[in-house]
Amino acid sequence: MTEAPGAKPESVLPHRPSREQAEDAVRTLLAWVGDDPRRPGLANTPKRVVEAYEERFSGYREDPAAELARTFEDVSGYSDMILLRDVRLESYCEHHIAPFTGVAHVAYLPDKRVVGLSKLARIVDIFGRRLQVQESLTAQIGETIQHVLRPQGVAVLIRASHQCMTLRITNQPGAIMETAHFTGVFKNNESWRRRFIDAVRTDAG
């Protein structure tokens, strides 16, 4: 099997900077904004920032395709849509490293094999813990599930609010971005696509 889309990425750098180098970079930024990184209130800030980055961007160290490796075939002939709604999403845009938060809805039409629902949530979480734009995040989730499970089709819809729209001059706190990605029957069959969209928009805010 060829490598799944969005699998654990190889570093584009010749080497990964050390933790000490990362902390030094934070000190440089603190000095650049005009503060003294040596003062008591900031002395431990570089360490805390690096630890926070390590947690927020842990998706670079994980392979989302591996989460789908264990599947089940004994499902008593079940062959209808499987939908996981309202998966909490938190990620960071690659343009400003500003957070965006919302929910993801993921569905697939199985072809013999199914996977535990928690694994679908893990796919969303792993990709969310990387820098990207919402459009690519949506596509990566869908294409990875399609590539690994080989279902009849996959549907992904994400709704999120972006802090780059609220903290910067744009100042649109109520704006919601919606992105969708479809493969297989959800892409080629209007009735399946409509069924998914109707399901995730039921009781939507």
Give the start-end residues of each E strand in the chain: 82-92, 99-109, 153-162, 177-182
Q: At 89, which helix (H) or strand (E)?
A: strand 82-92
3-state secondary structure of 125: helix
Q: Which pLDDT does position 2 carry in this prediction?
A: 54
Q: Which pLDDT does position 8 carry in this prediction?
A: 65
Active site residue 93: yes
Q: Of residues 93, 140, 147, 181, which has the active-site annotation?
A: 93
Active site residue 181: no
Q: Of residues 3, 51, 54, 96, which has the active-site annotation?
A: 96
Give the start-end residues of each E strand in 54-166: 82-92, 99-109, 153-162
Q: Of residues 23, 67, 134, 152, which has the active-site annotation?
A: 134
Active site residue 96: yes
Cα separations in angstroms, 90 against 54, 87, 163: 15, 10, 11
Active site residue 164: yes
Domains of the chain: 19-56 (no CATH), 70-201 (3.30.1130.10)
Q: Which pLDDT does position 34 carry in this prediction?
A: 97
Q: Which pLDDT does position 201 carry in this prediction?
A: 85
pTM above 0.95, yes or no: no
Q: Of residues 21, 51, 54, 95, which has the active-site annotation?
A: 95
The stretches in the chain having pLDDT less than 50 are 1, 205
Of the candidates 144, 83, 143, the residue with the CA atom closest to the CA atom of residue 108 = 83
Q: Of residues 3, 20, 54, 94, which has the active-site annotation?
A: 94
Active site residue 105: no
What token pair was written down for 58? Answer: 């842990």
